[in-house]
Chain A
C-alpha cells in the first residue's frame, strides 16, 4: 500500500505507529539462554507461521517452549496431510503413527514437496526438545497428536467428502473440530496445567470448542475464493443449497445477491460462538496467555465483518488492513473489557450493513444484539440495587413537593432577590450615588433602540 493510502487514512497509520512504539510484550524470549536445537525450533516457528510466531514468542516462559513445540508438531502433521505427492498408503500410517515417530531420536523426512518441507527434513531438533519438556506438558502434546493424526487420516481416506465436499452443518463442524477444536483442547489443557487459566475451563470443553470453531469458520468463510481455485469446498451444502443450485453459481456474477446472502448465513453461523469465546477468555489468568488467545479472536470478528455483505470475498482473497490489524492488536492485549468493546464495535458494524432483503436479516440482528447482551452480563452498566435505592429516594422526595410548596419556594427566592437589590441600592445611595438621571437615561436608551418609532421614516413608505 502506497504512501497516498496512509495520507488519506491517517488513523490506520496512527494505529500502526502506536502498536510499534507502545506495544510492550509481557514476556520476551531470551535467545542467549537457548541451546542450538531450541533456537532452531524458533527459526522453524518463524518460518512456518506468519500470524502465530509473534504471540507465541511473547508467552509466559512456563509455556513458551511447550506451545512452540506443540505448534511445530501440528505443523509437521499438517505438512504431511497437505502433501498430495505422498501416496495415501504411506500418508495414512504416517499420520496415525506420528505420536510414535515424534519419539524416535534423529527422525527426518525428505520426501515432502510442500513449502514447509524443511521442517520435516530437520524434525530431529523438535524431537530433541520435546524430550526435555515437563512430563505433564509432553503427555498433553502427545495425546493431542494421536487425536489429530487420526482425525487427519480419517479425512484423507474420506473420498466421499473430498469429491463432493462437506454436506451438512454437522460435518462442517466436525471438520472444524479436527483442524481447530483439537488445537484448542490442547492449548486449554496446557493453560490449565500451568495455572495460567482458570481450571474450570477444563470442565467446560464446549467453551474451548467454540474458540476453535469461531477461528476456523472465519478462515473458511474468508478463503472461499482461494479454496475454489484449489477445487476445495468447506461451505456445507446444507447452507449454500438454500441460496444457489450449484456451487459454481456462488462465483457467477449473475447470482451475486444470492451468494452474498449465503455468506451472510455462514457469518451468522460463526457468530453463534462469540458468547462462548468471550466467556472462555474471561478464564485467562495470565496477561500473556490472554493476549495469545485474544488477538486471533479480535482478528476473526473483524474478518467476519469484512466478509459480511461484501461481494469482494467471492472474487479475491480479502484481508483486514494493516492499520485495523494493529488497532485490534492494541485493543486485544489489554483486558477483557477492552476486547469486548472491539466485539461490540464489529457487531454493530455487521448490524449496520445487514440488509432487510436477506432471509437471515432478523436472525443476524438478534445475534448481534445477543452479543451486546452477553457483554452486558460480563460488565453490567446498571446495578439493580443502586436503582432500587434511587427509586426509593425519589419516591420519598417527590410527594413532599406539592404545588403549594413550589409557590412558597419561588416566593422565597424572589423575596431574597428583591431584598438583596434593595440593600445594594440602599448602600449605593448611602455612599452618594444619584438615581435621578437614571430613569431619563433609560428612557433615552429605550427610544434609540426603537421603542418609539421615529416619525421621519413614514415618508419613505
Chain B
C-alpha cells in the first residue's frame, strides 16, 4: 500500500489518529514506512484526515466497542496517542484526565490483549518526572517519576499512572503483547493547539516584548514530526522483538522501557518564543524587552489566578505558566539515540517554520472564509 523505505510495520492502528500528534503518525506511517494498512480510532474523525487511512469513531473508554473494533481491524501494532488537552484545572478537567488517560489506557490494553495485537506504543509525557518546581538538568530515564502529592499537575499524574499500566503489561502472560512508552517534551508543530498557539496568541496580543525571568533557563521543544518518527521507530523495533524468540539484551531492549524524545536541541526558553514570533513576522530585536524577574513572575501568576478566580473566568496567565517559562527543564535522549536509533529528522528551525507556516495558512483561510 505505502511506498516507505524505513521498514515494515504491518497493520498499524493509531488511537487518536485525528489528533495533533496522531495524524502526523498516520501520515508518516503511510508516506515513509511500509505499512499494510493504517487505521485511526478517534472520538471524532472529521479533522486531519488522510484519504489512504481508514477511520473509526469510538470512545476508547468503551472497552466492549473498542475490543470489537480491534478484532475487525486486526492491527499488528497499536500506537496510543489519545489524550485530552493538558491545560485545564478544576474537577471536571481532572475527571476527564482520569477517565481518558487512565481509564482509556486500561481499555486499550485490554482490547489489545484480547485481539492478538503484538505491540503497543504509548504516548506518555516528559512532564511525568517534573514536579513543576524543581529544575531538571539533562534529565534521563533514571530520574524518578513524580507521583501523588509531589505531582502538582493532575494531567501529569494521570499520564504517569497510565504509563505504569502500559509498562506493567509488557510480556504479561498469557498475553504476548509488548509495550513501550515514549515521553516527548514540549511538542509543537502543524495543528498544535498548545505550544505554538500560546506563543502566537501572546504575539497577537502584543505581549512579545515581555520576558519572564532572565532567559538563562534551558528548555526542550520538540517538533511533532520528530515525535511521530520516534513512535514509528519504537513500533518497528517492538515488532522485530515480537518476531524473535529471544528477549533482547537489556541495553538494546525496547519492550518494557520508557524513552524521552526531544529535538536534541535544548534552547533558552524565550529564544524559542522569539524564533516563533520572528517566523510569524515580528521584525523587532531584543532591545526594549521588558524583563520581569522570576520571583515577580510567579507572584503575578498567582495574583492573576486569584483575580480570575474571583471574577469566575478562566485565567489568561497562571502561576504554572510563570513557573514553566522561567524554569530549566531539558532532557538527555542518549537512550533513544542508542536503542531506538532515533535522530531528529527536522531541526528546531525547520519545525518552527513548518508549524508557524501552518498557522499563517489557517489565518489566511479564516480571513477568506469571512
Contact = CB atoms under 8 A, between A and B. Distances in A.
Interface residues of B, number: 37
A366 B136 CA distance: 17
B79 to A, nearest CB: 28
A369 to B, nearest CB: 4
B335 to A, nearest CB: 12
Contacts of B138: 373, 376-377, 380, 382
A377 B138 CA distance: 8
A369 B332 contact: no
Contact of A395 (B147, B272, B285): B147
B150 A391 contact: yes
B124 to A, nearest CB: 17
Contacts, number: 95
B266 A362 contact: no
Contact of B274 (A356, A363, A391): A356
Contacts of A357: 278, 283, 285
A376 B286 CA distance: 28
Contact of A361 (B216, B218, B278, B284): B278
B362 interface: no
Contact of B268 (A365, A391, A398): A365
Interface stretch (B20-28, B95-103, B346-354): B346-354
B330 interface: yes
Contacts of A385: 142
A399 B149 contact: yes
Interface in B114-158: 136-140, 142-144, 146-150
Nearest to A360: B349
A157 to B, nearest CB: 39
Interface stretch (A29-37, A347-355, A436-444, A447-455): A347-355
B290 to A, nearest CB: 16
A387 B140 CA distance: 12
B286 A368 contact: no
B61 interface: no
B332 A377 contact: yes
Given A356-B275, A377-B332, A395 B282 contact: no
B137 A370 contact: no
Contacts of B267: 362, 365-366, 369
Interface in B247-301: 265-268, 271-272, 274-275, 277-278, 282-286
Contacts of B284: 356
Given A351-B271, A387-B144, A376 B150 contact: no
A399 B142 CA distance: 24
5 contacts: A362-B275, A362-B348, A365-B267, A366-B265, A395-B147
Given A363-B347, A398-B148, 19 more contacts: A356-B284, A356-B285, A356-B286, A361-B271, A362-B275, A362-B352, A363-B348, A363-B349, A366-B348, A370-B266, A373-B266, A373-B330, A380-B137, A382-B139, A387-B143, A391-B144, A391-B146, A395-B147, A399-B148
